[in-house]
């Protein structure tokens, strides 16, 4: 049989006649695939570049010995260099050094500087060797020389021979740019110095960050690593390059997975749109398909024909999606950077690479969801008995299976059950599945719900009004609920997603704002730089600050990094004055704390963030050991606090305990409370007069809050984009389903025109139908979105990022979005309907179908 | 050619339309079936075409029992041996007239050249020469029914089933269409069954049968007189 030609005729004929509907389906799929593919490409490019950049700093070493704290004593280096099985050992001091900002400016920038022993590094990390000028070969050992990567030179706007100022504590030191480096990755900003010079200049005499080891040939790496770790004890960890990759992967995994899930949600909405377009298009052509069946087209051929239509839409949409996705990824990396503003991958310049395997996956995903969306209408059309289907009025019966509520209720029930399951590999897999099931169940329940609701409204309206337009509109919605439900589903899907994301983001933002208010109780905060390893105050400087005029109380903080698990990012240790009789005064506690009287005498109290409970099982009352000081004493978890700043874990302890254990007297930041009647400006002025006053940076709590919320908004910008996409797809759905329905109802409108209904009344009826459907979609979408937001707030977020939050509803924003959607949908319905009333009414009645 | 053996058919609502209906129709005959509304004329056509199955009895086409065929086989038989003409012309709106007429040829696997040639022949036969590239929206009701007749006959089927083919047409056009239909059925040597309320339509048939709840019987003069009174 010439099925190919017939198929082509039918496809071309349909698409020529209804190009807009085909285009809408293609755009919806293209948007979903483009978002998913772009986010995948951005994540992969950023992750690979960050991982490669981090790896390049370890050279060609087999193992790295690191301290559990950020630096350790170099005294055991000689023994390690001569250890049995070690061919070469390369000591490294790695520091993030602050770049001084000009007065009044608050710059959060640091330069990564490596202190290397040139003679050792030559064999293990030859790429990181500096290239001195031909007449100054000894610069590689000079104590004032620094070699910069070309990206660093460009960023700092310096060249060979220029001075470079860096901040160390309250001091500013000046180094000389002595040249470039042998080879670094594009965009990688690093500097290299002689290790002795770096230790001296950055006040790290006798300190190392790591020792890189190259093992002799034939040595079993795994066995050597195990033995060495036992020999070194808990104060040191032995890592491989693979551990570093795992650490980088763990650092950003939850963020990346969340973004991918949001993109998949967009693809899901697109798939629903394809389903609704295909379902309504099949319903519209029900008589035509019945005729083809009568003329001899078999069920299988009809099924094939409708699926082919869907597959072609899916293939074109997916291909376009891949092209747009690639372009969007390239643009986003260019304008927003690899972390889309979230701060996960600082200091790298990733480039987008076409990933053909991922492209194939996303293409199949786009095609797959389109075929799934087409399958239900195709099966219905193929199963329909041709003789009854040839008669008019069977359209809504074609969708009658949609009205069965049981699959929908099963989805909702299963979704509810899945919310009770724990995460898998620290990812809220069941949480996301529950969201998907709630969406599917909610949409699938629409035909039954809309029939019930509109029937009741119709019944009530029929008693109270005799106006034609509302009665006609309500009669249609009540008596053809399945077609109405398809349009409703699009509104429901998009509004529930918008509501869920808006509630989640608002809950998070309000919680972060409350948290910031709690953790910033002082009147003024002082530091020497916003970040970096070399910032901080010495004891005499602390005394001077505390004694400055106008200050009633000064608290000092010491924060440092601890590595408890080589495969996870560092955790943060914060030492500060804490009132252990009432820690909630200082810390945003999530529950009860253990009071001093109940604490054992032989353990030091620590208060841990929620992430420590999830990731390290540091539960309330548990005894733990931490690599602080030489003796690794026992600590007890005395309370759990909420931390939105460090998702990989943080521990707070009393500064006095920390100093007693570590002997470290240095602090990083100061929180100042002012005497009554003294202004912030007066205190800043008096602190500026201190000998080191010019190195101080001041922040008021309001400024820190504003800056933090600004960063929050920037990192959530991508979710706003996804919300906008969901709204656009939802409106496209309304447009597609209404134009499909009005096309199919041309004869109905013709009859109405014959019996005296004016064009204006028909348009009014369509606008009323659109408005009523959208209003119901919004109301039910809000309920569904609220349920989904509960999963996002209380399951997905704690399981992904290990923090809890309170629920807050953005009523104003939701009302605005609802109103905008309502007006747009009624308008869309109206515009779609104009086509139906613009033709000749008599012609419409006599139309063949 | 067509044999109806003790056909019985009722609907889920409990309404029985056909009871123990038997009839044998020879090849090459052109028969009109008349009867009151709801007596089961269209149902009978659907049963003959294999679009519906009888509760009791059998429909035999060329000695083959339709009930012995599965859906695919019945579809293939319909594709090859049947031609259909409906009251609501059922012309696919997005295909040209030629393409609409060629549908049965395509379904029967006829080659491209032959399709064009045969479609053109049929367009000439139904008086639409040169209109093959037009779309249905440009046609009048009578013209659309001509296209439907061309489509029903293009693949030279053995049995033509027509359900109220002139129900949507004015009397002059209806007369033209009926004459055309008869001429084409005869020219193709096909068997024709036309279901109609119209005596004018029935008059073009070789034989008029009346369908009642008791079965099929040839029409007599009383049927004609009664219908004239009703008019």
When divided into structural domains, chain A yields a total of 3
A83, A220: one domain = yes
Same domain, A651 and A562: yes
Confidence of residue A345 (pLDDT cuts 50, 70, 90): low
Asked if residue A666 belongs to a domain, the reply is yes
Going by pLDDT thresholds of 50, 70 and 90, the confidence category of residue A393 is low
Chain A residue with Cα closest to B102: A6
> Could you tell me what percent of chain A has a pLDDT over 70?
88
Specify whether A279 is located in the same domain as A205: no
* Identity of the residue in A9, A13, A848 whose CB atom sits nearest the CB atom of B144: A848
Nearest CA in chain A to B157: A295
Q: Do A1 and B109 touch (CB under 8 A)?
A: yes
- Kindly determine whether residue A293 and residue B111, on different chains, have CB atoms separated by under 8 Å: no
Task: Establish if A719 belongs to a structural domain.
Answer: no
In this structure, are A232 and A313 located in the same domain?
A: no
Considering CB atoms only, which of B75, B78, B90 is closest to A287?
Answer: B90
All residues at 6 or more sequence positions from A614 whose CB lies less than 8 Å from its CB, including other chains: A426, A798, A802
For A286-337, give the DSSP string.
HHHHHHHHHHT--HHHHHHHHHHHHHHHHHHHHHHHHHHHHHHHHHHHHHTT
Q: Hey, where are the domains in chain B?
A: 29-38+72-230
Distance from CA of B11 to the nearest CA of A (A): 12
Distance from CA of B144 to the nearest CA of A (A): 9
Instruction: Tell me whether residues B75 and A10 touch, CB distance under 8 A.
Output: no
Count the helices and strands in chain B (H runs, E runs). Answer: 8, 10
Chain B residues lying within 8 Å of A5, measured CB to CB: 106, 112
In a domain, A593, yes or no: yes
Residues in A whose CB is inside 8 Å of some CB of B read 1-3, 5-6, 9-10, 13-14, 16-17, 287-288, 291-300, 385-387, 390, 846-849
Q: Taking residues A136-146, what's their average pLDDT?
A: 89
**What mean pLDDT comes out for the span A54-69?**
78
Residue A788: CB atoms within 10 A of its CB come to: 27
Nearby residues of A185 by Cβ (< 8 Å), 6 or more positions away: A49, A52, A53, A56, A348
Of B84, B90, B109, the CB nearest to A848: B90
Q: Return the SS3 of B116.
A: helix
Are the beta carbons of B94 and A13 separated by less than 8 Å?
yes
- pLDDT per position as a tens digit, A675-691: 998 999 999 999 989 98
Residue of chain B whose Cα is closest to the Cα of A15: B94
Mean pLDDT across chain A: 83
B91 touches chain A (CB under 8 A): yes
Q: How distant is the Cα of B164 from the closest Cα of chain A, in angstroms?
A: 14
Are both A305 and A212 inside the same structural domain?
Answer: no
Residue B142 at interface with chain A, using a CB cutoff of 8 Å:
no
What does DSSP assign to residue A537?
A: B
Residue A6: its chain B contacts at CB < 8 A? 103, 106-107
User: What pLDDT is attached to residue B229?
Assistant: 39
CB-based contacts of B208, cutoff 8 Å, min separation 6: B31, B32, B33, B34, B202, B218, B219, B223
- Walk along chain B (231 residues) and give the pLDDT tens digit of each residue: 789 999 999 887 778 888 899 999 988 899 999 998 888 888 898 899 888 889 999 999 888 898 888 888 888 888 899 999 888 788 887 788 998 898 888 888 888 788 889 999 889 888 889 999 898 877 888 888 889 989 998 998 989 999 888 877 788 888 888 888 888 888 888 899 999 988 888 999 999 999 988 888 888 755 554 444 333
Residues A588, A688 within the same domain? yes
- From A844's Cα to the closest Cα of chain B, the distance in A is 10
Please state, in angstroms and rounded to a whole number, the distance separating the CA atoms of residues A698 and A670: 10
Same domain, A7 and A69: no
Select the residue from A295, A387, A388, A747 to test the B interface by mutation, using most B Cβ atoms within 10 A: A295
B86 interfacial to chain A (CB closer than 8 Å): yes
- How is domain B29-38+72-230 classified at the architecture level of CATH? 3-Layer(aba) Sandwich (3.40)
Both A558 and A662 in a single domain?
A: yes
For range A596-611, the mean pLDDT: 89
Residues of B in contact with A839 (CB under 8 A): none
Closest partner residue to B72 among A17, A291, A298, by Cβ?
A: A298
Q: How confident is the model at residue A789 (pLDDT cuts 50, 70, 90)?
A: very high
- Pick A721 or A786 by higher pLDDT: A786
Question: Among residues A5, A28, A82, which one has the least CA distance to residue A269?
Answer: A28
What residue numbers bound the domain in which A326 lies? 1-58+255-398
What is the reported pLDDT for A347? 60
Q: Are residues A636 and A663 in the same domain?
A: yes
Same structural domain, A231 and A293? no
Flag whether pLDDT at A511 surpasses 70. Answer: yes
Kindly report the backbone phi and psi dihedral angles of residue B8, in degrees, each rounded to the nearest multiple of 5, phi listed first.
Answer: -130, 140
Q: Give the other-Cβ count within 10 Å of A161's Cβ.
A: 11
Decide if A295 and B104 are in contact by the 8 Å CB cutoff: yes
Nearest to A387 among B52, B72, B109 (CB): B52
**pLDDT tens digit string along A482-493?**
767 777 787 888
Q: CA A431, A432, A433: angle at the middle one, nearest 5?
A: 90
Nearest C-alpha neighbor of B7 from the set B42, B51, B41, B47: B47
Q: Is residue A836 situated within a structural domain?
A: no
Inspect the interface and report whether the beta carbons of A295 and B78 lie closer than 8 Å: yes
Distance from CA of B39 to the nearest CA of A (A): 17
**DSSP assignment letter at A422:** P
Q: Which residue of A has its CA nearest to B109?
A: A1
Read off the pLDDT of residues A432-479 as tens digits, 9 standing for 90 and up: 899 989 988 988 888 888 888 888 888 888 777 667 777 778 877 877
pLDDT at position A849 is: 47
Task: State how far residue B54 is from chain A, nearest Cα, in angstroms.
Answer: 14
Which structure tokens are listed for A285?
Answer: 């052509």
Closest chain A residue to B45, measured at CA: A387
Return the residue of B nearest to A5 by Cα. B106
| A248-286 pLDDT, tens digit each | 666 666 667 777 777 777 677 767 777 777 777 777 788
Going by their DSSP bridges, the two strands A63-67 and A72-73 should be labelled as unpaired
My answer on whether A11 and A90 are in the same domain is no
Please count the helices (runs of H) and the strands (runs of E) in chain A.
29, 21
pLDDT at A191: 93
Could you tell me if A139 and A179 are in contact, meaning their C-beta atoms sit under 8 angstroms apart?
yes
Residues A49 and A145 both lie in one domain: no
Q: Rounded CA gap, A489 and A478, in Å?
A: 16
CB contact under 8 A, A14 and B94: yes
User: How many inter-chain contacts (A to B, CB under 8 Å) are there?
Assistant: 91
Hey, is the C-beta of B114 within 8 angstroms of any chain A C-beta? no
The residue in chain A having the minimum alpha-carbon distance to the alpha carbon of residue B115 is A2
Q: Which residues, numbered 169 to 228 in chain B, qualify as contacts with chain A under a Cβ-Cβ cut-off of 8 Å?
A: none
pLDDT category, A317, cuts 50, 70, 90? very high
* List of chain A residues whose C-beta atoms are within 8 Å of the C-beta of residue B99: 9, 13
Q: Tokens for A424, please give them.
A: 């898998």
- Which has the minimum average pLDDT: A71-75, A375-379, A509-513, B62-66? A375-379
Of all helices (H) and strands (E), which one includes residue A750? helix A746-754
Residues in A closer than 8 angstroms to B49, CB to CB, are 294
Range among A235-244, A513-522, A563-572 with highest mean pLDDT value: A513-522
pLDDT in tens, A524-562: 999 887 667 777 888 999 999 999 989 999 999 998 888
Tell me how far apart the alpha carbons of residues B95 and B135 are, in angstroms, rounded to a whole number.
6
With a cut of 70, say whether residue A168 has pLDDT above it: yes
- A-chain residues near B108 (CB < 8 A): 1, 296
Counted residue by residue, chain B has a size of 231
Residue A515 falls inside a structural domain: no
Query: Measured between alpha carbons, how far is residue B52 from residues B1, B18, B39 in Å?
Result: 19, 13, 16
- Strands, DSSP E only, in A633-731? 634-641, 650-654, 669-674, 697-699
Chain A hits for B105, CB-CB cut-off 8 Å, are 2
């Amino acid at each position: 049989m010439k099925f190919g030609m017939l198929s082509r005729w039918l496809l071309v004929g349909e698409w020529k006649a209804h190009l807009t509907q085909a285009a809408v389906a293609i755009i919806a799929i293209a948007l979903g695939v483009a978002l998913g593919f772009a986010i995948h490409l951005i994540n992969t490019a950023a992750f690979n570049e960050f991982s490669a950049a981090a790896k390049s700093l370890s050279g060609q070493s087999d193992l790295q010995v690191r301290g559990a704290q950020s630096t350790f004593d170099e005294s055991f280096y000689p023994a390690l260099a001569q250890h049995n099985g070690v061919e070469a050992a390369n000591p490294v001091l790695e520091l993030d050094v602050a770049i001084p900002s000009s007065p009044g400016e608050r710059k959060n920038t640091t330069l990564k500087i490596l202190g290397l022993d040139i003679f050792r590094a030559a064999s293990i990390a030859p790429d990181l060797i500096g290239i001195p000028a031909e007449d100054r070969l000894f610069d590689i050992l000079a104590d004032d020389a620094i070699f910069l990567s070309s990206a660093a030179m460009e960023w700092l706007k310096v060249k060979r021979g220029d001075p470079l100022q860096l901040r160390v504590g309250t001091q500013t030191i000046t180094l000389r740019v002595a040249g470039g480096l042998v080879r670094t990755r594009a965009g990688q900003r690093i500097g290299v110095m002689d290790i002795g010079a770096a230790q001296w200049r950055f006040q790290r005499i006798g300190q190392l960050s790591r020792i890189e080891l190259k093992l002799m040939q034939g040595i079993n790496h795994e066995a050597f690593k195990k033995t060495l770790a036992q020999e070194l004890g808990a104060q040191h960890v032995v890592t491989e390059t693979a551990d570093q990759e795992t650490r980088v992967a763990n650092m950003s995994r939850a963020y990346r997975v969340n973004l991918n899930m949001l993109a998949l949600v967009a693809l899901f909405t697109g798939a629903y749109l394809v389903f609704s377009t295909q379902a309504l298009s099949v319903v519209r052509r029900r008589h035509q398909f019945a005729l083809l069946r009568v003329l001899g087209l078999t069920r299988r051929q009809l099924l094939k024909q409708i699926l082919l239509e869907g597959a072609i839409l899916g293939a074109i949409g997916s291909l376009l999606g891949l092209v747009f996705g690639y372009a969007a990824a390239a643009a986003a990396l260019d304008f927003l950077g690899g972390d889309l503003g979230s701060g996960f991958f600082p200091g790298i310049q990733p480039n987008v690479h076409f990933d053909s395997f991922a492209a194939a996956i996303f293409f199949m995903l786009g095609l797959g969801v389109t075929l799934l969306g087409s399958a239900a209408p195709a099966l219905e059309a193929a199963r329909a008995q041709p003789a009854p289907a040839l008669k008019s009025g069977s359209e809504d019966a074609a969708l009658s299976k949609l009205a069965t509520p049981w699959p929908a209720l099963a989805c909702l029930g299963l979704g509810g059950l899945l919310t009770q399951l724990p995460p898998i590999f620290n990812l809220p897999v069941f949480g996301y599945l529950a969201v998907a099931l709630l969406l599917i169940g909610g949409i699938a329940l629409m035909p039954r719900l809309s029939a019930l609701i509109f029937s009741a409204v119709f019944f009530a309206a029929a008693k109270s009004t005799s106006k034609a337009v509302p009665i006609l509109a309500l009669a249609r919605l009540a008596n053809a609920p399945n077609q109405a439900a398809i349009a409703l589903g699009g509104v429901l899907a998009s509004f529930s997603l918008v509501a869920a994301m808006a509630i989640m983001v608002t809950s998070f933002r309000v919680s972060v704002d409350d948290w910031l208010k709690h953790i910033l109780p002082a009147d003024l905060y002082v530091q020497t730089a916003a970040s970096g390893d070399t910032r901080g105050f010495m004891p005499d400087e602390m005394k001077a600050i505390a004694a400055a005029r106008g200050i009633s109380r000064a608290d000092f903080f010491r924060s440092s990094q601890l590595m408890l698990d080589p495969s996870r990012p560092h955790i943060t240790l914060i030492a500060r004055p804490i009132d252990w009789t009432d820690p909630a005064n200082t810390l945003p506690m999530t529950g009860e704390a253990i009071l001093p009287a109940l604490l054992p005498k032989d353990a030091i109290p620590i208060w841990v963030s929620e992430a420590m409970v999830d990731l390290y099982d540091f539960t309330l009352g548990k005894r733990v050991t931490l690599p602080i000081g030489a003796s690794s004493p026992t600590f007890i978890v005395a309370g759990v606090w909420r931390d939105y700043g460090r998702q990989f874990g943080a521990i707070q302890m009393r500064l006095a305990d920390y100093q007693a254990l570590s002997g470290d007297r240095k602090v990083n930041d100061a929180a100042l409370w002012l005497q009554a009647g003294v202004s912030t400006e007066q205190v800043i002025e008096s602190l500026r007069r201190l000998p080191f006053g010019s190195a101080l940076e001041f922040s008021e709590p309001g400024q820190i809050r504003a800056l933090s919320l600004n960063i929050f908004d920037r990192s959530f910008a991508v979710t706003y984009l996804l919300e906008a996409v969901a709204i656009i797809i939802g409106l496209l759905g309304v447009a597609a389903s209404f134009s499909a329905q009005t096309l199919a109802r041309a004869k109905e409108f013709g009859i109405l025109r014959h019996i005296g209904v004016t064009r204006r009344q028909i348009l009014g009826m369509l606008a009323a139908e659109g408005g009523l459907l959208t209003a119901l979609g919004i109301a039910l979408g809000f309920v569904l979105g609220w349920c989904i937001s509960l999963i996002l707030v209380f399951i997905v977020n704690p399981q992904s990022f290990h923090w809890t939050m309170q629920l807050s509803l953005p009523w104003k924003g939701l009302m605005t979005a609802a109103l905008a959607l309502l007006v747009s949908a009624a308008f869309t319905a109206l515009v779609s309907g104009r086509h139906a009333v613009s033709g000749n009414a008599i012609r419409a009645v006599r139309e063949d179908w | 050619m067509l044999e109806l053996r003790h056909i019985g058919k009722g609907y889920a609502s409990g309404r029985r339309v056909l009871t123990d209906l038997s009839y044998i129709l020879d090849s090459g005959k052109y028969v009109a079936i008349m009867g009151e509304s709801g007596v089961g004329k269209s149902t009978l056509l659907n049963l003959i075409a294999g679009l519906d199955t009888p509760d009791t009895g059998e429909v035999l086409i060329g000695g083959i029992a339709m009930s012995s065929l599965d859906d695919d086989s019945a579809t293939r038989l319909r594709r090859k041996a049947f031609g259909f003409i409906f009251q609501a012309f059922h012309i696919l709106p997005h295909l040209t007239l030629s393409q609409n007429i060629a549908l049965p040829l395509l379904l029967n696997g006829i080659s491209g050249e032959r399709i064009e040639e045969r479609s053109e022949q049929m367009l000439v036969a139904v008086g639409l020469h040169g209109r093959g590239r037009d779309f249905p929206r440009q046609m009048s009701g009578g013209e659309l029914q001509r296209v439907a007749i061309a489509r029903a006959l293009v693949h030279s089927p053995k049995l033509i089933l027509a359900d109220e083919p002139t129900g949507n047409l004015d009397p002059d056009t209806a007369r033209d269409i009926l004459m055309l239909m008869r001429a084409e059925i005869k020219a193709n040597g096909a068997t024709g069954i036309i279901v109609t309320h119209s005596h004018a339509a029935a008059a073009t048939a070789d034989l008029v049968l009346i369908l009642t709840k008791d079965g099929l019987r040839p029409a007599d003069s009383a049927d004609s007189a009664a219908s004239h009174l009703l008019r």
